[in-house]
Amino acid sequence: MPSRPLALTAELIARAHPDSVADDEAALAVMSDAELAPGLTRAITARAAKSAALWVFAYGSLMWSPEFAVAEQRIGRVHGWHRRFCLLQRRFRGTPEKPGVVLALERGGSCRGVAYRLDGLDRHATLMPVWRREMKGRGYEGRWVEVATEDGPVTALTFVVNRASDRYTGRLDEAAIADLIAAGCGHLGPSAEYLFHTVAACAEHGIHDPHLWRLQALVADRLKA
C-alpha cells in the first residue's frame, strides 16, 4: 500500500453523513435460514475433500468484520477473479432512492485477500453464519476456489457476484461507482464507510488494490464538494 495517507477519512465520512437512517425491511427481502439451508447443503456436498479443513476467502467486509471464530489466517491470491464494486445496496448501506454499492468477485484477473480457517465438526453449523450473512440478499453465489498462499494452496469458500441478481450493476466505470458510494447510506452506515474499512484492512494486511485506492480518492473528492 502506498505510504501516503488515505484521502478518505472517518471524519470526512461522518461530516458528509451526519444523520442516522432508519431500516426499511421492504427495501430488500432477505432469505430465512430455512430458505438458505438447501444451498449451503449443496455447497458442502460439492466440496469433494470432506475431511479437509474449512476455509473462507475474504476480500471485502469479511476482512474487517468476519463475525466468526478464526483458527488460522493466511494472506493469499485467487486467480480468475478480481474484486469489484458491482453489487447495489438498497438496504443496510443504502436506500432505494440512494443505493450504495458493495464488493463482489467478478470474473477475470486475480485478487489478494485473506483465507480464514474455521474450526467445527458440524460443517453446516460452522458455515451457516457466514453463508447467511453473504447469501441472504440474493446478490452472491457461493463458490469453492483455490487460494495460493505462502504455506501452500487451500480450497476456500468465497462469494462471487450473482449476475442474474437485479442488484448487479454490470461493469460501471469508477466515476459512476464513486458517485454511488459517496451518496449511499443505510441503517448500517454510509457506503463510504464500507470502502474506508476495506481499504484500511487491505493496508493492514499489506494488500494494495489499485481499484480500491483510486475509489477512495474519488469518493473523498465527492464528499468534500
State the catalytic residue, choosing from 134, 141, 193, 204. Answer: 134
Grouping H, G, I as helix, E, B as strand and the rest as coil, residue 152 is: coil
Say which amino acid occupies 219.
Answer: V
134 is annotated as an active-site residue: yes
Closest residue by Cα to residue 43 from 117, 119, 128, 114: 128
Cell representation of residue 7: 484521502
141 φ/ψ angles, rounded to the nearest 5 degrees: -120, 135
Report the b/e string of 42-66 with b at 16+ CB within 10 A. ebbeeeeeeeeebbbbbbbbbbbeb
Catalytic residues: 134
